[in-house]
Amino acid sequence: MALSQRLGLARNTVQARLARLESGGVLAPLDRRVRPEALGYRLTAYVTVQVVQRSLADVSDALAHIPEVLEVTGLSGVADLLVEVAARDADDLWRITEQVLAIPGVQRTDTALALRRFVEHRLGPLLERAAGEDPPR
């Protein structure tokens, strides 16, 4: 509503354009803005996963069915996947990593706890650069 007022466009027009941008992959879904901590998931961990190569698609699909898995990224190098997970506590993280290890095709995992986020996920500087403005340094 505020965006439609600011742009001087009808609310339905703005909603349709935003929906088109989201479905086209330009805008991330709004659920990305919710912090896991607000839902009781105080721990964030990054799990690197080594996978039997022919099982990569099946392992990725199985990971997508674990609710605590926030994101899965394919890597080059020794590890095949980087998996970001949210956990309530250390015991919950243990349970989640056991679930990951139980997926057929997973050979090995290594887990690192996120202790502090120094730079939040951001796109502002890239948007400024794309608009021809140099971001402050």
Fold of 36-113: Alpha-Beta Plaits (3.30.70)
pLDDT of 58 reads 97
pLDDT digits (tens, 9 = 90+) for 52-75: 989 999 999 999 999 999 999 999
pLDDT digits (tens, 9 = 90+) for 76-91: 999 999 999 999 999 9
Report strand pairing: 69-74 vs 81-87: antiparallel
What Cα–Cα distance (Å) separates residue 70 from each residue in 64, 86, 100, 108?
A: 8, 7, 13, 19
pLDDT of 56 reads 95
Q: Where are the domains of the chain?
A: 1-33, 36-113
| This prediction's pTM | 0.79
